[in-house]
C-alpha cells in the first residue's frame, strides 16, 4: 500500500517521496487514504517503526509498560480499593500473563512486584497473593482473543456509574466515537467474578470488540498492546464521564451513525492509542522512575 507523504507524517519528511506501509512508513490502520482523511499530524514522526526485540526484551518492554499503566491509573484515581487489574500476555509462554500482586496499591506497582500467572491460575514467578477475580476474568479474555496482548479492568467511578444505568457510550463527541460499534454491555452481574465460567461468558460477550461495560460493575478494555488496552480504558472512563455530565445537563446530541462511523475510523486505531499512552508513559517514568525497579 503506497501512501503519498503530501498529507501524512512519515518521520523523515520529504514532501515528494512516497513510502510503503510496513516498510518503516506510517501504518495503514490509522487512516484510510482512499477517503482523503487528513493525517493526524504533519512534520513529525510516528513512533514507528518499532525496533525488533528479542523475546526477553519484549517481555521486559511489556512489564515496564504494564507497571507504568498501573502508575498512571493510580495517578488518575482509576483504582477503587483493592479491585482492579491490568494484564499483559507473556510473549513466550502460552497461556501465561503478568498481573499486579493483590494488595499493593496501583501507585506502588513496580516491574519487580508483578506476578507471572499460568493458565491454571498458579503463580509461576513473583510473590502472591493473586486476585482470584483477576485470573477468572483475564485468563478467559486472553484465551478467547489471541490478538489481545493486554486487558484492563477497574471499578473507576464514571465507568461504574454508567454501568449502573444500562446505557452504552453514545457517539456524542469525537472522542466517544472511538467506541462506536466497538463495545458491548455485559448485562449479567452475579456477584464477584470468582470462577472462570463467568470470565468465559464475559469474553464471549466482548467478542471482537475493544470494550465491555460490565453492568453494575465497571469497564473492561482490551488492546493489541499494553499501551492501547490502558489507553482505551482511560478514554472510555472519560467518555463515560462526559456522557454522564452532558446527560445531566441537557438532552444529548447523538451523532448520526454515518458520521459516527466515519469518525470512529479516524480516532479508533490501535496505533493512535499506543501513541497517546506513550505520551503519558514518558511523563510517569520521568516522575516515578522507581516503577522500573
Ligand atoms: Zn471488578
Tell me the per-residue pLDDT of 155-205, one tens digit each, with 9 for 90 and over.
999 999 999 999 999 999 999 999 999 999 999 898 888 889 999 999 999
Which pLDDT score, from 0 to 100, does residue 126 have? Answer: 97
Residues with CB under 5 A from ligand 1 (ion): 83
Domains and CATH numbers, the chain: 1-49 (no CATH), 55-292 (3.40.225.10)
CA of 54 from ligand 1 middle (Å) equals 34
Question: In the beta sheet, which residues pair with residue 222?
Answer: 151
Mean pLDDT in the chain?
Answer: 87
Q: Three-state DSSP class for 60?
A: helix
Mean pLDDT value of segment 76-104? 95
CA of 79 from ligand 1 middle (Å) equals 10
Q: Is 229 in contact with 149 (CB distance < 8 Å)?
A: yes
DSSP string across 198-239? HHHHHHHHHTT-SEEEETTTEEEEEESSHHHHHHHHHHHHHH
CA of 155 from ligand 1 middle (Å) equals 6
Tell me the per-residue pLDDT of 200-253, one tens digit each, with 9 for 90 and over.
999 999 999 999 999 999 999 999 999 999 999 999 999 999 999 999 999 999
Amino acid at each position: 500500500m503506497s501512501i503519498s507523504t503530501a498529507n501524512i507524517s512519515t518521520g523523515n519528511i520529504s514532501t515528494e517521496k512516497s513510502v510503503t506501509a510496513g516498510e518503516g512508513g506510517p501504518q495503514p490502520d490509522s487512516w484510510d487514504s482512499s477517503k482523503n482523511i487528513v493525517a493526524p499530524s504533519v512534520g513529525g514522526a510516528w513512533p514507528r517503526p518499532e525496533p525488533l526485540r528479542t523475546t526477553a526484551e519484549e517481555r521486559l518492554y511489556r512489564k515496564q509498560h504494564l507497571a507504568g499503566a498501573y502508575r498512571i491509573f493510580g495517578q488518575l484515581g482509576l483504582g477503587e480499593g483493592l479491585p482492579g487489574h491490568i494484564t499483559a500476555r507473556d510473549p513466550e509462554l502460552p497461556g501465561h500473563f503478568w498481573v499486579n500482586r493483590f494488595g499493593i496499591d496501583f501507585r506502588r506497582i513496580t516491574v519487580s512486584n508483578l506476578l507471572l500467572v499460568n493458565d491454571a491460575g498458579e503463580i509461576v514467578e513473583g510473590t502472591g497473593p493473586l486476585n482470584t477475580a483477576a485470573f477468572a476474568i483475564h485468563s478467559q479474555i486472553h484465551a478467547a482473543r489471541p490478538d489481545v496482548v493486554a486487558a484492563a479492568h477497574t471499578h473507576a467511578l464514571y465507568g461504574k456509574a454508567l454501568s449502573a444505568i444500562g446505557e452504552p457510550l453514545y457517539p456524542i463527541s469525537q472522542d466517544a466515537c472511538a467506541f462506536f460499534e466497538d463495545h458491548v454491555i455485559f448485562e449479567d452481574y452475579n456477584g464477584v467474578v470468582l470462577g472462570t465460567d463467568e470470565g468465559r461468558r464475559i469474553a464471549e460477550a466482548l467478542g471482537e470488540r475493544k470494550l465491555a461495560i460490565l453492568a453494575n460493575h465497571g469497564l473492561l478494555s482490551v488492546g493489541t498492546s499494553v499501551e492501547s488496552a490502558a489507553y482505551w480504558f482511560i478514554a472510555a472512563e472519560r467518555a463515560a464521564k462526559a456522557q454522564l455530565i452532558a446527560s445531566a445537563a441537557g438532552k444529548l446530541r447523538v451523532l448520526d451513525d454515518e458520521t459516527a462511523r466515519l469518525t470512529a475510523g479516524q480516532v479508533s486505531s490501535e496505533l493512535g492509542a499506543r501513541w497517546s499512552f506513550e505520551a503519558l508513559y514518558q511523563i510517569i517514568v520521568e516522575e516515578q522512575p522507581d516503577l522500573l525497579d
